[in-house]
Homo-oligomer: A and B are copies of this chain.
């Protein structure tokens, strides 16, 4: 296996690049500290659609269209469209894909979906199976609330450990065009289930998955946290972020000041959002917006994105199952 290093990490020696990207977010995300990092802030969270599901789909379609436009790529020249989302049977992605002719690969990894798509896109390029791959995802606060929790009309109070699903969408084109941040490594995580069952504290459930993937990635690449300017976890939220730090400290990892968490940071500190953001779009917009802007502006040379996902469903919660979690790491360089 020439394209692996260490035990589980994929090494892309012909480094695929992210050669076009587009992010759009809802009004609340636009009031956070990363407003300038996103391509577009929507004026409202409905876009004139009759249902939030239609809005979510429209956001993904817009992100796909804009990314293609910027790249000067026609949809028929795309080799693959890889997408997934939180809705049952990833219908946001399938319906958005139905307006396109590109071969469609549907993926699911909850809030880690975008990183899974990035990794598979890089594999297809590096393996010479594609020359242009589009990856995308979307989520919407209202669709996630009513599917996983309660309809927002009930106005159910949230706990401090609850996370707010990010309203937004993101799409990127991977290719070997000349400019754009490079994907150098991907570490696909295994499923970690520590027996936690509280769907109102998914950060604590996901932290061990993030820890395991970070540990694996650093061991495989013979790197330290300090070798990355930023280690951006996805969606751990304030509670999960604390847990991850404890796990890393316990194992004497150094360089913890490099840790940032997209979920904890996306809304800033002034909005009432429990432990922070989550949702498939969260790590996607923070990666394509914030992280890649840091690379573009040379604020960072090397970033590790660690996207986490809680692989539960409303039914597994009702049936008393614990929450299986996963994290995938993607190493990016200017």
Contact = CB atoms under 8 A, between A and B. Distances in A.
| Copies per complex of this chain | 2
A90 interface: yes
Interface in A151-177: none
Contacts of A314: 88
Contacts of A86: 89
A136 interface: no
A107 B104 contact: no
A321 interface: yes
Given A97-B190, A192-B98, A319-B53, A127 B123 contact: yes
Interface stretch (A3-11, A245-253, A283-291): A3-11
Contacts of A193: 95, 98
A242 interface: no
Nearest to A314: B88
A315 interface: yes
A109 to B, nearest CB: 5
Contact of A91 (B81, B95, B130, B316): B316
A321 B49 CA distance: 14
A51 B110 CA distance: 24
Interface in A42-92: 51, 53-54, 79-81, 84, 86-91
A300 interface: no
B188 A94 contact: no
Contacts of A105: 107, 116, 120, 188
Interface in A289-334: 311-316, 319, 321, 324, 326
B87 A4 contact: no
Nearest to A11: B129
Contacts of A129: 1, 3-4, 10, 123, 127
A94 B190 CA distance: 10
Given A313-B87, A324-B97, A116 B127 contact: no
Contact of A88 (B103, B315, B326): B315
Interface in A1-28: 1-4, 8, 10
A89 B202 CA distance: 15
Interface in A115-145: 116, 120, 123-124, 126-131
A32 interface: no
A101 to B, nearest CB: 5
Nearest to A9: B103
A218 interface: no
Given A8-B103, A94-B311, 18 more contacts: A1-B131, A2-B128, A4-B79, A51-B319, A54-B319, A84-B108, A88-B315, A90-B108, A94-B191, A94-B324, A97-B190, A97-B191, A98-B192, A106-B108, A120-B120, A123-B127, A123-B129, A127-B129
9 contacts: A8-B79, A80-B188, A81-B190, A89-B312, A89-B316, A90-B108, A95-B321, A100-B191, A107-B107
